[in-house]
A and B are shown apart, each in its own frame.
Chain A
Amino acid sequence: MRADAQVLKGHLDVLLLAALADGPLHGYAIKESLRAGSRGRFDLPTGTIYPALHRLERAALIAGSWSVVDGRRRRSYRLTDKGHRKLVGERAKWRDFADAVTAMLERDPWPATT
């Protein structure tokens, strides 16, 4: 699982956007959605999700708002229009890339040429 951490880093932004595709969530719920959605493979330290969310918010891809739950301040995030467009674009790019890798790795072996 740890070996995935480095790879995961490069895709974290788009995974966080994807976690918000179905509606607003707060940090901990986003982390749980990542874990459940990846069948347990993407299990990040929760604390490191927050700075990544703040970066996405500065880029106007998501928007946060405060509420009070059980007497605690809670910040929830939703996708902005810009974030939604980014997610759609990244999804298409990922499909292209994954198709190409799959085609390469799973093609039939070359016939022997001796």
Chain B
Amino acid sequence: MAGDDLIERYLATVTRRLPPDAVDELSDGLMETFHRHLAEGLDPAEAAAAAIAEFGDPDQITAAFARQAPGRRAAIILLATGPIFGAAWGTSLIAGKVWTWPIPSAVGAAFAAALLIVVAALVAATSRRAYGHVLVAAVACGGLILLDTATLVAVALAAPALVWPMALAIPASLTRIVMATRAVPRVLAH
């Protein structure tokens, strides 16, 4: 019957966007709403339309889930604080004359490429329709931990001397390593 079609289409849309447990929970609530409207005497098509109206359209629901998703929150915080790290490390590396450090250029290029990938992953993880991007957020957090660690190791091994901007950049990276490490299990737990 027409009502069931409407509900099935609705559930197919949310199934593509949300984790299976959330879909089961939504479909239980939606079916209960639908049956209540049927019991009130609406015909199936009307009952389905009324149930969906009461529930909110898939975009509205996906957006509500995405707003609450821990992966998205972590990604937003990491992106928002990114420019501070860029400025602190940029100043440090220029002041420290990074081009004179004994680092192979291939390693430098690999670092730059990895940084771009991490930023792209963080941007993807902030998308409002991307509740399913939990893994992307977790991988981006992991990538950032590795990049921070690599930077600190490079400074420890290759920098001929410490320069004053590093007094800001090094503690900032250490803090970010700790925060990102704590965020990963929270993101994945969901």
**B55 proximity list for chain A (CB < 8 A):** 45-47
Q: Mark A6-23, 1 if CB is under 8 A from B, else 0.
A: 000000000000000000
Q: Mark A27-42, 1 if CB is under 8 A from B, else 0.
A: 1100100000000000
Instruction: Report yes or no: B60 in contact with A48, Cβ–Cβ below 8 A.
Output: yes
The minimal Cβ–Cβ distance linking A40 to chain B, given in whole angstroms, is 13
Within 8 A of A (CB), among B34-68: 54-56, 60-61, 64-65, 67-68
* A58 contacts B by Cβ under 8 Å: yes
Secondary structure at the A interface, as helix, strand, loop or mixed, is helix
Complex Cα–Cα for A50 and B65 (A): 8
The minimal Cβ–Cβ distance linking B176 to chain A, given in whole angstroms, is 22
The minimal Cβ–Cβ distance linking B56 to chain A, given in whole angstroms, is 3
* B26 contacts A by Cβ under 8 Å: yes
How many residues does chain B have at the interface if contact means C-beta atoms less than 8 Å apart?
A: 26
Instruction: Report yes or no: A74 in contact with B26, Cβ–Cβ below 8 A.
Output: no
**A73 proximity list for chain B (CB < 8 A):** 24-25, 28
| Size class of the A contact interface (CB-based, 8 Å) | 20 to 34
Instruction: Report yes or no: B28 in contact with A54, Cβ–Cβ below 8 A.
Output: no
Instruction: Report yes or no: A51 in contact with B28, Cβ–Cβ below 8 A.
Output: no
**B71 proximity list for chain A (CB < 8 A):** none
Q: Give residues in B with beta carbon < 8 Å to A.
A: 21-22, 24-33, 54-56, 60-61, 64-65, 67-70, 186, 189-190
